[in-house]
Amino acid sequence: MRTLVTGKQMKAVDAHAIVTVGIPSMVLMERAAFAVAREVKGILEEGVTGRPDRGAAVWSVCGTGNNGADGIAAARMLFLEGVSAGVVLIGQPEKGTEEFLQQLKIARNLGMEILSREQWEELCSQGGMQCRVLIDAIFGVGLSRQVQGAYAECIRRINGLRLDGTVECVAAVDIPSGVHSDTGQVMGEAVSADLTVTFGWEKRGTVLYPGRSLAGRVVVENIGFPPLDSLKPEVRDGEDEEETPYACTYGPGDLERIPERAAYSNKGTFGKVLIVAGSENMCGAAYLSALAAYRTGAGLVKLLTVEENRLILQSRLPEAILATYTAGQLMEGREEFRKLIDEQCRWADVVVLGPGLGCGAYVEYLVEDILTMACSPVVVDADGLNTIAAHPYLTSYYTENIIITPHLGEMARLTGQSIPQIRENLVETAAEYAAHYGLTCVLKDAATVVASREGGIYINTSGTSAMAKAGSGDVLTGIIAGLLGLGMDETESARLGVYIHGRAGEVAAVKTGCHGMLASDLAEAIGSAMGGKKAGNAAEAVLQSRDSEEKR
C-alpha cells in the first residue's frame, strides 16, 4: 500500500520537519536536488531516444519559490559533474524565497550560465535551444491559482519544445508545473512531463487525471522527512479545520490481502452471492457479474432475474443457480413477491443489485424490497443506482453495509451535480456522499476513487483504457461481491476489488490488444490478476514489469 498526500499535507510535513524536528530547509533541499540530478544523469547516460549524437545539455527552468531553488540546485550538481547545465529564471528573482536566493547565489559564484525568461525566449526563437533534458521547476505543490501571463507562455514553450523534439525529456520537480497537487486538474496551463521526481510521498495530483497523464513516470524519493504518523492532527491540517485523511493506493503486494482458501472447506465456505440483475433482452450484465463473482472465488452464485433470461443464462453459466420472476408477478402479487425476496436475501451472504435491471415500473419495487430486506452487504450498481436517483426516498433505506458503484453519469444523477463538477472534485464528491449516507462509495473513472463511511480514501492506479467497454462495470461489481463472499469487509472488498479489476484489464489487454478486449475477456483474466494461474508469458511480463516499477 502506498500513501498519497495533498499539497497542504505535504507542506505541513515539510514545516514539521524543519520547525519541530529541526532539519534545516537547505538540507532537505539538497537531498531533493540530488535525487533529481541522479535521475537526470541516468537519462543522459542511458539515452532517451537512442540518439547519442545529441548534446548532453540540461536546462533547468525555475520559478522563484523553493521548487525553483530545487531546480537550481539540481542543475548545479549536474554542472559540477561535468554536464553542460544552465538555469532559466521565470519571474522576478529579487522576490524569491530565502532558499531560492541562496541557491541562485551559489550558481552564480560557480559561473553557471543563467538566463532570464526573455533571453531564453530569444535563444529558443533562434533555434539555439538544443538539450537532452529540460528540468521543470517552475511551480511546486502549493499552486492554487490559474497559471497566466508569462508563466503560461513559458509552459506552452516547454510543451512545444518537447513536442517538436528539440527537448528529448522533460523532468518535473515534485509535480508538473500547473497541475493541482490535490485534484490533478490543469490550472490553466500545465507541463507535460516524461518523468516526475517527487519527494516523501506521491501526490494525489499525479494519480488523478489529467495530472496522471502529464506526470509521466513518477519516482518517489525519501529525502529524510519524519514518518507521517509522527505528526499530530493539528500540525497536519490546522487546529480549526477538520482532519483530512491521507489517501492510499494498492500495488502487487496488496494481493496478499486476499483470504486463502482453507483446505477443509466446501462451496458454502466461500460465500453465497445473490445477483439481482437482468431484464428482458438484457441478460449480459447479469452473466458478467455472476461470472466475475465465481472467478473471484465465490462458492455459490444465484441469479435472480426475469423468466425470459432463464434459457440463455443456464446455457452460458451452468454453474449458477437461477431463480426467476415475471414483471406481472412482482406488480400484482406484492406480498407473495416480498416473501420470495425475503427468502432469497436470507439465503445470501452478499447481494448485488442493479446490473441490467432496466427502467421498467416494477424495478422501483424490486429495489425497495432488496434494500429493506437484505441484512448482508449489498452492492448497488447501474440501474439500481438510476432507480434510487429517480426515487430519492430510497436513500432512506441506505445502511452501513451498502456499497454503491456509480460512474460519473450515475453520480451526477444521484447528487444533482454536473459531470464536469464531479470530475474536477472526484475525491471530495465520493467522500461527501459516503460520509452523508454512511456507506462505501466506489466512484468509477479512469482513476477510480473509493471512499469509506469512516472517511478513508483509496485512489486506484491499476487498469488500462482497453477497459472502457460495455460490461466492464458489471465485472467490477461481481469482483467486489466475490471478495465480500470470501469474508472481507465492505471497504477492503471495494478497494481490492477495484485494484484487481484494473489488473485483470492489464492482463486481458495483452492477450487481445487494447481495442479488441471485451468485458468477458476481463472476467476471464481475474484469476491471473489475483495471482492464480499464469496469464501467459506476455501478460506475465507486463505485470512483472509493472510490479517491479511500483515496488521501486
- For the annotated binding site for (6S)-NADPHX, the residues are 66-70, 140-146, 151, 174, 285, 356, 407, 474
Beta strand segments in 416-518, E: 440-443, 449-451, 457-459
Which residue, 469, 550, 541, 459, is CA-closest to 499? 459
Distance CA 293, CA 299 (A): 9
d(CA 526, CA 531): 9
Residue numbers in the known binding site for K(+) are 67, 136, 177
Residues of the binding site: 66-70, 136, 140-146, 151, 174, 177, 285, 356, 407, 444-448, 473-474
Nearest by Cα to 487 from 226, 261, 149, 171: 261
Lookup: cell for 514: 487494447
Q: Is the distance from CB of 309 to CB of 280 less than 8 angstroms? A: yes
Cell for 317?
Answer: 453459466
Containing 330, the helix (H) or strand (E) segment is: helix 327-332
Q: How far is residue 212's CA from residue 182's CA, in Å, rounded to a whole number?
A: 12
- Cα dihedral 107, 113, 117, 121, rounded to 10, equals -160
Q: Whose CA is closest to 287, among 131, 477, 128?
A: 477
Query: 516 Cβ partners below 8 Å, 6+ apart?
Result: none
What CA–CA distance (Å, rounded) separates 284 from 355?
9
Bridge partners (DSSP) listed for residue 60: 87, 135
The whole-angstrom separation of Cα 106 and Cα 538 is 50
Return binding residues for AMP: 444-448, 473
d(CA 264, CA 36): 53
Please give the Cα distance from 373 to 376 (Å, whole number).
9
Residues 6+ apart with CB under 8 A from 174: 32, 67, 70, 140, 141, 196, 197, 198, 199, 203
Cell of 314: 443456464
Residue 418: burial class (beta carbons within 10 Å; 0-12, 13-18, 19+):
exposed
Type of residue found at 376: S
Q: Is the dihedral of CA 26, 205, 85, 120 positive or negative?
A: negative
- Cα R_g (the chain), whole angstroms: 27
Q: Rounded to an integer, what distance in angstroms lies between the CA atom of residue 354 and that of residue 404? A: 10
Residues 161/124, Cβ–Cβ less than 8 Å: yes
- Which phi-psi region, left, alpha or beta, contains residue 446 (left: φ > 0; alpha: ψ -120 to 50)? alpha
H-only helix segments in 216-308? 233-237, 284-296
Spatial neighbors of 424 by CB under 8 A, at least 6 apart, are 183, 185
